[in-house]
Structure 1
Amino acid sequence: LYKKESLWTESQRVRAGILFREYPDIEKAYYLSMRLGSIYHQCRHKDVALTRLARWYDEVDKSGFLAFGRVARSIQTHYLEIINYFERRSTNAASESFNAKIKNFRSQFRGVKDRAFFLFRLSKIYA
């Protein structure tokens, strides 16, 4: 269910058919998540993306799925930052990754007592 339907093998297609027949809510959730992903992969202009995100948001409201409601609210709260992706196709993934490395480094030493030395070590390791 993490793949696009077009990338399923024949056996995955059969299993998905059984799963969707037995659990229609999973089918609805799958297609909602795929539609959100397609907005990011297909839209090249922010105006089109905003329109499609608004339509997706309406579908989420009608579906009643709480998990998607949280995602939709997060998108609604941060839509100005999200729209930047459609203008420049850039994300903050590199800074998030670096932040995770810093947190991991800090946790290895169970905190930071000498901040100057900590910053020195960070610059030597990650610079």
Structure 2
Amino acid sequence: MLEWFELHPELELAYRMKESFHEIYNCSDKEDAQAFARTWLDSLSPEMEYAFGAARTALTNWWGEIFNYYDHRVTNAYTESTNWLAKDMNRMGRGYSFEVMRARLIYEKQARKPTTKVRGIKPKPFLPEKVMYRFGIIDEKVKTIEYGPHIPTLCDLLDKSYFS
């Protein structure tokens, strides 16, 4: 790379800008990440604008959504992957609209099972559940969290023509 950078200084500049952009996600908290992103946007030189214009636009248009990552440490990668699978299936001509196929992929119970987690400990009931809630015997902090469909499971189901 160093030899290429000597021959093409703009390539090194683009590489450094790209690497710097990825550093946003190495920040420890939301405020630092937003400050780093503002600095990155300000440092984007006019000669690199053509190469990073889409990144600049996405960053500014989706600022809140992008930096919500620091509040929850969860991305929409599952949603994007599921949409991609639905579009592929739609192109294969399975006979469903994109919206129907996406819904089938997102809500498929078999695919959601590996990513469903139960948080907290629920005691074994010794009274009817209504009574236990009323008297505070059941911990209401127990909850089920679903992180979306498990993409490898969806791919296996697709390979087996489950959605046909």
**TM-score after normalising by structure 2:** 0.56
CA distance in 1, matches of 2:90, 2:41: 39
Report deviation, 1:64: 2.7
1:46-71 CA-partner distances (Å, limit 9, x unpaired):
110110000000111x2432121221
1:92-127 CA-partner distances (Å, limit 9, x unpaired):
1111111111222222226438x98x699765837x
Q: Which runs of 5+ in 1 are unaligned?
A: 1-15
CA distance in 1, matches of 2:13, 2:46: 8
- The AA in structure 2 aligned to 1:39 is I
Return the structure number with greater strand share: 2
Match of 1:64 in 2: 47
Match of 2:10 in 1: 25
CA distance in 2, matches of 1:84, 1:17: 37
Match of 2:123 in 1: none
Return the structure number with greater helix share: 1
Report deviation, 1:33: 0.4
Report deviation, 1:27: 0.4
Q: Which runs of 5+ in 2 are unaligned?
A: 109-156
Structure 1 vs Structure 2 CA RMSD: 2.8
The answer to whether residue 35 in structure 2 is matched with residue 51 in structure 1 is yes
The answer to whether residue 89 in structure 2 is matched with residue 109 in structure 1 is no
Question: What is the aligned residue count?
Answer: 107
Match of 2:79 in 1: 95
- The AA in structure 2 aligned to 1:47 is E
Counterpart contact for 1:43–1:86, Cα < 8 Å: no
CA distance in 2, matches of 1:55, 1:121: 42
**TM-score after normalising by structure 1:** 0.71
Q: What is the SS of the residue equivalent to 1:55?
A: helix
